[in-house]
Homo-oligomer: A and B are copies of this chain.
Amino acid sequence: MAESWATFGVDLHVDVARPGVGPRRGLTDALREAVRGGRLAPGTRLPSSRSLAADLGIARNTVADAYADLVAEGWLTARQGSGTRVAERAVPVPASAARPARSLRGPAYDLVPGTPDLASFPRAAWLKASRRALAAAPDDALGYGDPRGRVELRTALAGYLARARGVRADPEHILICSGFVHGLMLLGAVLRQRGARTLAVESYGLDVHWDLIDRAGLASAPLPFDERGTRTDELPSTGAGQGGAVGAVLLTPAHQFPMGVPLQPDRRAAVVDWARRTGGLILEDDYDGEFRYDRQPVGALQGLDPDRVVYFGTASKSLAPGLRLGWLALPPDLAPEVIAAKGGADWSCGVLDQLTLAEFLTSGAYDRHVRASRLRYRRRRDQLVSALAARAPSVTATGIAAGFHAVLRLPPCTEQSVVRAAAWHGLAVHGLTSYRHPAATPAPLDALVVGYGTPSDRGWPRALEALCGALP
């Protein structure tokens, strides 16, 4: 506290109170020092001389003179209509701030699954919904809110999920979260509180989910997998729910990630039977349920038993991950614990995006976007299948009836070399090996997991070309 701070308005703290120096000189020196030291960044607009003078209790001309001095010295610029600003390049910007966000250039083409085509995000429609939603919002929507999220969005989702996914849920038992990972964090904490020790998972999935389960203090135990999907009939042998502890299983029933098969009816029945018999819980990750291309749509498992299934949905695949919006439909008797787990820790989702998504859903804009996206991805899928048939006949695409990724089966022992060849072609693509649970029992398969939704429409043909060039 060696400095003696004085001020001209609470927006700017500079040392102007120097003994033996008049206000003009004091202000000029203080501003120069603030610019030189980087505390006033290049481009910053200064207050008008009128308001600064009022804040300081000095004459307006004194401020105007101080500004003029600094313009003359090159520290500030003054232009008609844009006010007085700190000159660009007046000071050296700290090295790290000047660096671009990514210092390494990414790959030229990206077919890593999990991200939709961001170039097709419906910006204009979203803004329109945003304007309408903000105009309609009551003032108290902007305050600290219900940990479940805004009632407008929960109500819109209850209607949408019922009609589009066969989910049966009351808005009271829907909870808005910032995406699947946030939802899984909450469920992990609640399961641990209920005494669970193991969460059964699928043989193929995402390591970030397994890590999260691990950090929640639970073991992840993979269920066997065959060509008909995950062997839910093997649940009793995983240890989930044994020894009196509550059991739980995490599944992607509509479109196994990444293998792409739907869970077969008998295996759906088996997992629901298990949950009813043991008091267990099913966590249903319905990440891309909107995108299905054949005539055998797969409704959500949740509809079979809303008391035993926690349904996880997300806007990350249907709209954009950057929205950070997901939702849970909770069994009524579990809802209070999950809401408490969220409410106790944070209220993480901005209300403006929640209100906008509610408007987007009820106005029909969401359906329109999903339909347009479905056509886009279906077209790309068809192009992928044709290209493979023509240029890489030894490679077969599976799991292609839905979503926006495919599994390309490769000849034995070629996965690693194909991923390396792709990298040489400037193409980012993942091998299936990285999606296999370390304790999984099925024999490893050589395959690529190709996210054909990731590129823009413009980038897609070249990404496909690069892929074909890397395949055997």
Instruction: Say yes or no for A185: interface residue by CB 8 A criterion.
Output: yes
* Contact A101:B146 (CB < 8 A) given known A346-B348, A348-B182: yes
Q: Tell me which of B6, B11, B44, B374 contacts A370 (CB under 8 A).
A: B11
The complex places the Cα of A316 from the Cα of B166 at a distance, in Å, of 38
CB distance from A209 to the nearest CB of B (A): 12
Q: Which residue of B lies closest to A97 (CB)?
A: B171
Q: Tell me which of B134, B178, B215 contacts A344 (CB under 8 A).
A: B215
Interface string of A28-49 (1 = CB under 8 A from B): 0000001000111101110100
CB distance from A437 to the nearest CB of B (A): 19
Contact: A13 with B142, CB < 8 Å?
A: no
Stretch at the interface among A62-70, A116-124, A228-236, A381-389: A116-124
Contact: B11 with A164, CB < 8 Å?
A: yes
Instruction: Say yes or no for A295: interface residue by CB 8 A criterion.
Output: yes
Contacts of A40 in B (CB 8 A): 159, 162-163
Q: Would you list which residues of chain A between 98 and 126 have a CB under 8 Å from chain B?
A: 101, 114-115, 118-119, 121, 123, 126
Instruction: Say yes or no for A450: interface residue by CB 8 A criterion.
Output: no
Instruction: Say yes or no for A251: interface residue by CB 8 A criterion.
Output: no
Residues on A lying within 8 angstroms of B by beta carbon are 1, 5-7, 10-13, 34, 38-41, 43-45, 47, 51, 57, 94, 96-97, 101, 114-115, 118-119, 121, 123, 126-127, 130-131, 134-135, 139-146, 151, 155, 158-159, 162-166, 168, 170-172, 178-179, 181-182, 185, 211-212, 215, 265-266, 268-269, 289-292, 295-297, 299, 304, 316, 320-325, 344-353, 362, 364, 367, 370-371, 374, 456
